[in-house]
Amino acid sequence: MKFDPVLFAKAIADETRQKIMGECCCNWLSVSEIVEKVGFTQPTISHHLAILRDANLVKIREEGKQTFYSLNQEYIAVCCGQIMVKFAPETSVTENLLKVINQ
Amino acid sequence: MKFDPVLFAKAIADETRQKIMGECCCNWLSVSEIVEKVGFTQPTISHHLAILRDANLVKIREEGKQTFYSLNQEYIAVCCGQIMVKFAPETSVTENLLKVINQ
DNA sequence: TTATTATATAGACAAACGTCTATTTGTCAA
DNA sequence: TTGACAAATAGACGTTTGTCTATATAATAA
């Protein structure tokens, strides 16, 4: 998956999607469970999940009738790292990040 | 400045603004210089600069008739770090980042 | 003062976006 | 095969966003 900083930013640039991301950050949730936790209609949640999926920000596991989603933490870390390298290259935080990555 | 992950994401979620950010990442540019480099009208560039300013992503220096902008790299690094901690806490990259920050 | 230059602000307009209801698709149980 | 449930898709609708032109504000030069 090629990194696109605008696509990534657009995907996370919404209150509802960030709520969804928070809910399925460290665990797998079905769509219905996310609907319950976030509190919009099922189609609205599916719509947001599709945007997150298209940006590669969620992992998917189908199981019978249900579909489970979990945050793609590795890729999110990569995206944030790339943005730091691109827009904050002269900071110590980014320099340390690069040191760790290139070692 | 209180960190707001949605405000930050919205601010960088636009092609034109990311071009502007790239241009004034490591140097100070006047509005006219940015207009020249990015290629939209001056009011459009001013509009985007206002959004970046409201999100604390640019530093400003007024000098006579001109206003110079430069990326606020430190704050951008902080924002990316916060997003990593929030949405990618279980990755090694984030763990290293936290180690560096807390030392 | 008046003219010029640099930037910001106001307002218009089309495109993109977030939400909803209605419907479709796919899976499982009876 | 029928019925029920889970999720995705389609389409409508109001809101937000990005761009433009026109204008206002502020600083400098003549």
Rounded to 5°, angle at Cα A35 from A30 and A36: 100
Nearest CA in chain A to B85: A77
Which 8-state DSSP code applies to residue A90? T
**Mean pLDDT for chain B overall:** 97
Residues B20-32: pLDDT tens digits?
999 999 999 999 9
Q: Is the CB of A41 under 7 A from strand C?
A: yes
Q: Please choose, from the candidates B87, B19, B63, B81, the residue with its C-alpha nearest in 3D space to the C-alpha of residue A24.
A: B87
Answer whether residue A103 shows pLDDT above 80. no
Tell me which nucleotides of strand C come within 7 A of a protein CB: 5-11, 17-23, 26-28
Range B68-78 average pLDDT = 98
* pLDDT class of A4 with cuts at 50, 70, 90: very high
Answer whether residue A33 shows pLDDT above 90. yes
Nearest CA in chain A to B90: A73
Residues A49-94: pLDDT tens digits?
999 999 999 999 999 999 999 999 999 999 999 999 999 999 999 9
User: Rounded distance, CA B89 to CA B103, Å?
Assistant: 18
Partners of residue B66 on adjacent β-strands? B63
* pLDDT class of B93 with cuts at 50, 70, 90: very high
Q: Please choose, from the candidates B25, B95, B21, the residue with its C-alpha nearest in 3D space to the C-alpha of residue A89.
A: B25
For A12, the token pair is 């996370």
The gap between B61 CA and D30 C1' (Å) is 27
Provide CB contacts within 8 A for B13, sequence distance 6+.
A6, A9, A10, A12, A13
Whole-number pLDDT of residue B67:
98
Alpha helices by DSSP H, B39-72: 42-54
* B89 close to A26: Cβ distance less than 8 angstroms: yes
Q: Is the CB of B73 under 7 A from strand C?
A: no
| CA–centroid distance for A96 within its chain | 23
Whole-number pLDDT of residue B2:
87
Q: Please choose, from the candidates A15, A16, A32, A34, the residue with its C-alpha nearest in 3D space to the C-alpha of residue A24.
A: A34
* pLDDT class of A102 with cuts at 50, 70, 90: confident
Whole-number pLDDT of residue A50:
98
Whole-number pLDDT of residue A65:
97
Tell me which nucleotides of strand D come within 7 A of a protein CB: 5-11, 17-23, 26-28
Residue contact B83–A89, C-beta within 8 A: no
The gap between B62 CA and C16 C1' (Å) is 34
Whole-number pLDDT of residue B100:
86
Counting every residue written for chain B, the total comes to: 103
Counting every residue written for chain A, the total comes to: 103
